[in-house]
Structure 1
Amino acid sequence: MSRRLEEATEEALLTGGRAGRRAVEDAGFDQELKEKLLDKVKTAKFQSDFASAFAEAGMPNSAGEGTRIMATAQPWTGEESHSDTALRMLDDARKPLKPEFRGQYQIPPVDMRIRREPKVNAGQRAANARERASTYTGLGIKDQTGLSDDEREAMRKQFRERFEPNARAMPNTLSGLAALANERIENAIARGQFKNIPRGKGVERDARADNPFIDTTEYIMNKMIKRQDIVPPWIEKQQELAKVVGTFRSRLRNDWKRHVARMISSRGGSLEEQVQRAEEYARAEEISNPRKKNIESISVPTNSTDDIVMVKIRQQAAGDAAAESAATTAAAKAPAAVVAPFRDAEWLEGERSYMTLAIENINAITRSYNLMAPDLAKKPYYSLDRELATCYADVAPLVAEAIRQRATRPVKPLFDSAGAGRAAIFDRFGKEGHTAKIYDSRAPHYGFKEMWKDLWS
């Protein structure tokens, strides 16, 4: 009763405020009891003001980091602190991993070796026996009604079949089969039968499969496209355009080089004079029409996909000012050109119809390509004058070597037989200059006798 009265008084002091204190004073409590109650009130107020510190001090050592943070955290006041804001921004900056990609629980290894049970003294065995026996009391086993003779015989038969040597050799359910297989595997692992298994080649795993910043759908689609060699339509159009342009340029250069070599050779003179004349034309071409550098391809990776945009850029080695200064320097160092660059108006007029039609076809393909290609990969249209100037600049240094090869290669006979080859062994017995005549005849087939006669005749 005194304890309950003390608890009621403390509750009145804690929850009643001034009215509770006045009620305690009016009740006529002893001074010592009153000081004790007021001391408890101050202690409770102090603990409520510094609840986080008391919670941290009373935290057990087994508590985790998250539990400690929650216990020492300040209560919500309606406004978010700077530290909480920074932590929330850091958490939102990275997309959390999916549950299947997070760290999974690793089953600790279990030692399946048979061990002896620890020895227990007689006193502990007796105490355990008494405690275990007490668990069966009150279950009402003795109060149950006895089984009939038929039921008792059926139960005895069931127990007898259950404890036979071959009873339940193979489980009848899938879970039983899985448990039996796992048990045998664990026993084999404990015996060390899996230690010396020959290992094959490791499976190559794509590192991007576990990347949390790549969408799963995007990764699967890109993988399917790469496996099936599927490319966007504008990439196929780009390949077609590059093939057509390459064919036109190679044919134009080969035709022009062959024509220039023939025209220079037709003017007569020795081989050295022809080569020197071709080199003079090459120097004149370099001064009047310098070659341009060709950057074949540049890889431009995008942010969303792994596709590579191939951009072909045609540009000079430097700017216009640098090109003019380089041309001026080359002209000052090189001897003055006594001849003009080689041109042939007749050849150009004869080939203009083909070249014009080819350029129109290339520009049509370029137009259809630009309609479907992104802005970064679009290409300019082609011009016949620009292609001819590039062809002249590229072919001029190669004409001298072409003339030298034409002059030094062996001459093939004009009426050389298509089936001519090395002489057979029987041709050595024949006379030089002997020609054979073959007649159509109904006579018997040509045999060994006729061959021997013709050989020694």
Structure 2
Amino acid sequence: MSRRLEQATEEALLTGGTSGRRAIEDAGFSDELKEKLLDKVRDAKFRNKYSGAFAQAGMPAAAGQGTRGIAAAQPWAGEEATDDAVLRMLDDAKKPLGPASRGKFEPPPVDMRIKRERPVSAGQRMANARDRAQTYAGLGVKGTGLTDQEKEDRRNQFRERFSPGARGMPDSVTGIAALANERIEDAIARGQFKNIPRGKGVERDTRANNPFIDTTEYIMNKMIQRQEIVPPWIEKQQDLVKQLGTFRARLRNDWKRHAARMIASKGGSLMEQMQRAEQHAKAEKVHNPRYRNVDQIPVPASSSDDPVMVKMRQQAQQAAEKPTTGPDPEPGEVLPPPFRDPEWEKAESAYMNLAIDNLNAMTRSYNLMAPDLAKKPYFSLEREMAACFADVAPQLAGEIKERATRPKQTAGLGAMDKPSTSILEHFRQAESPRIHLEADGKVYGFREWWRDIWGRR
């Protein structure tokens, strides 16, 4: 039992590090047993450090030179020594000569005379002493404002670091683990594990575990957001909005330009033309008030052609399409009818019908993909024309004024527009010369005609 206890104690001392030695000290062993165990530990370390010398000393006399060299060699530490690597490369590069080709070894001459040391001046000795003092002070022992206890701790730390046995590495896994534990315990004792900066915490989404939310749909939406993927119905919606904006912008621009020209063509001063346009705008506000954008009216998912559903849709649309408030015409004021041009509408009807059909086809494709809350109603040419007339009517007066006050663009005088200085130059410049360039691949000309007449038959 005592032998097993002694073995366990030795193992704790060898592999336990500082904590193992502290446990042995606190276990209540006698001083004699402690000294005996510590002597064994020191003896084991000494034998491990000088294992080559012990192996060579215990070598029998009958052992050969190769056996003695192997015993005296350093143990394998995982890396090849530089001397061995150089010798191996030299042997591989140039094979050694045979015994017959080798010359007789002659040792180099050795000068046995006593050589005197080179004298050093007093200034050089002082400089060397100063450099050594600065090096010693640079170790952090002097001139740093430390207390005596801190200086003593620093000296002990340097002594342990630069001692001969401090750099000895264990040759077993257990020894490496013991060394690691010892260094960790020393670092904990010095307080190096205090105030360690923490990393970024894990972000937890509480809505992912909400029982009132569809987990599958929520996770899919989060994946789409992280990957920056656009659903197909969103792309359809963007194309539809782009086409609709282009159609409405062109329709309003064409009608504004045409209406301004027609009102201005009736004659009168600029103020009369602007007043006439304002009268048409007031009449437009009375007969065709501006409504809210029809794109903002939602379409129920259960919408059908049933009379009840049609009535419900009409009521919802009437409630949504409330006319915007504006200044009412003065009482007793006679207003002209809203300005219309049936000929222009007839000329543009082909384009407008085709554009409305294209928009409705895109809307139908979009509604098949989009969810119920994002579906859009179909477009009507009458509704689009009414919205166009209501939007453009207040802008006609400004358009007429801008067209009247816009500076006219005059072309610069060219070579033909310069006044002529003589009659000959006038007739010469009356008609510009015309140059006719014949084709390169001419088939029949004067030369061919002359050859046909006077040539041999």
TM-score (norm 2): 0.45
Q: Which protein is bigger by CA-based radius of gyration? A: 2
